Amino acid sequence: MLFFSAALVTVAVVAAYDIDCKWKSNISDIEDVAHHKYQVLEECLFYKLTSEADRMQDKSNALMMLPPTVAAGETLEVQVLDGSITEMWMNEVFKEMNINGFLKLSWKDRRLRWNPEEWKTENLRLKSMGRLWSPDINSDKLQTGAQSTDFVNYHDIQSNYNGNVTARLEFRMKAQCSIDYTEYPNDRKHCCFNLQSTLYKRYVKFIMEHGDGHEMLDTKNIRTNWHVDPTWTWIMKLNQDNDNRYPERLEVCVGVVRKSSTLAVELTLPVLISALILLLAPFFGKFHQQIYVKMFALLLQFMSFQFLSEKTPQLGFGDNIPKIYIFYAFTVGMTVLSLIATVMISAMSRVKRKVPPAHRYTLLASLLNANLCCGSEEEPTTDGTSSKDATSDWLQIHSALNNLSSILLIFIYIIGAIVIAF
């Protein structure tokens, strides 16, 4: 506290007795000036610029309160040099992305010009934002209590002797997101927010340092649990049909994809196991064994679907239908069809028949059963009282039908899964 008071007294004494810092004429190299004395030199320079700005614009504190232009109809060109996103986190319920970052801006202020040979310095650091007028760039949302979390602030403000002012505009914004759940749980989010001048809507004009806004937003050092998609990340200038009556805006957009490999494994592994059981069911042998295996696969699929439903966002998926849901529904549907086919063929095989099938069908069934390594049934035992007992022949035909239906459903399932995945 004593040190701060002493510093104020020193500056006050300098301002009172040497407001022009005449001792600066004795300086040959600014690098040799002590740090505290260089600060005094900056204070003297700023006091000089403030006095000249008051006389130029005929108002006290003009450098702090008034924009740099004087003539009517003039505009201020704010150059967007680059930007960076430093931190972001998602509110899944309201579909909002909280984004922290900054933009590096530059503009010309004719009032901040001096002779570097006289003042021995080419740059002037402004230690307080309140000492210099700056473009009031803020969120374009209505400034209500609901948007109180949006925040912008200028830092690291400095000017060179030509009046070029550079500053870092730090922001914390809530960006509205459009979400594509097609690849859920690796869903894609595109989150954007706009910045514009509130008080000087048609006075402030933006100029982009790079025409392609994709190169201006740095996301390399971002701390987040999302993969940033550079093709959907940019800073862009928006102007309504090039009409000067409407304010120019800066659109900042970030495209991200969820990092959730563990969740993807949790959701896909159970249904893949049940699908594998479905594919292997025809190789388990008899009809009743295949039925039990397919019923177990169906039970596992329903349990997996229940687990998937618990991971669904609270507000659902909107108009998007995730591929994993389509895959679940397709797998359940194919399992049900396979189970119905096996149950019906098994039921028909238990009917006692005295009339034998056509011989060509019997030969065809024997050929199929010998070459398709699927399930087979034991031939029924007969009491030998009737030479017309054709149950074994019909059983062979039913077994061939079940093998054909199983192979057909397996091919349909594999092709359908490939189409859904790609």
Over residues 192-205, the mean pLDDT reads 87
- Give residue-wise pLDDT tens across range 143-162: 554 456 788 999 999 999 99
- Of 108, 113, 106, which Cα lies nearest the Cα of 46? 113
Superfamily of domain 74-259: Neurotransmitter-gated ion-channel ligand-binding domain (2.70.170.10)
* Every domain range in the chain assigned CATH 2.70.170.10: 74-259
Q: How far apart are CA 271 and CA 248, in angstroms?
A: 51
pLDDT at 11 over 60: no
The confidence score (pLDDT) of residue 221 equals 78
- Give residue-wise pLDDT tens across range 351-377: 877 777 877 778 777 777 777 656 555
Is 53:62 a contact under the CB 8 Å cutoff?
A: yes
Model confidence at 260, pLDDT cuts 50, 70, 90, reads confident
Read off φ and ψ for residue 276, nearest 5 degrees: -65, -40
Is 296:281 a contact under the CB 8 Å cutoff?
A: no
**In one letter, which amino acid is 332?**
V
Distances (CA, A) of 279 to 186, 192, 411: 27, 45, 10
The confidence score (pLDDT) of residue 282 equals 82
Q: How far apart are CA 378 and CA 72, in angstroms?
A: 101
| Mean pLDDT comparison of 100-104, 120-124, 143-147, highest-scoring range | 100-104
* Buried-exposed string 248-279: b where 16+ CB fall within 10 A, e elsewhere: bbbbbbbbbbbebeeeeeebbebbeebbebbb
Model confidence at 3, pLDDT cuts 50, 70, 90, reads very low
Residue 26 per-residue DSSP state:
G
> Which tokens is 81 given?
């040099």
Is 208:80 a contact under the CB 8 Å cutoff?
A: yes
Q: pTM of whole model > 0.85?
A: no
Over residues 52-56, the mean pLDDT reads 89
Q: How far apart are CA 215 and CA 204, in angstroms?
A: 23
- Of 422, 184, 419, which Cα lies nearest the Cα of 324? 184
pLDDT at 105 over 90: yes
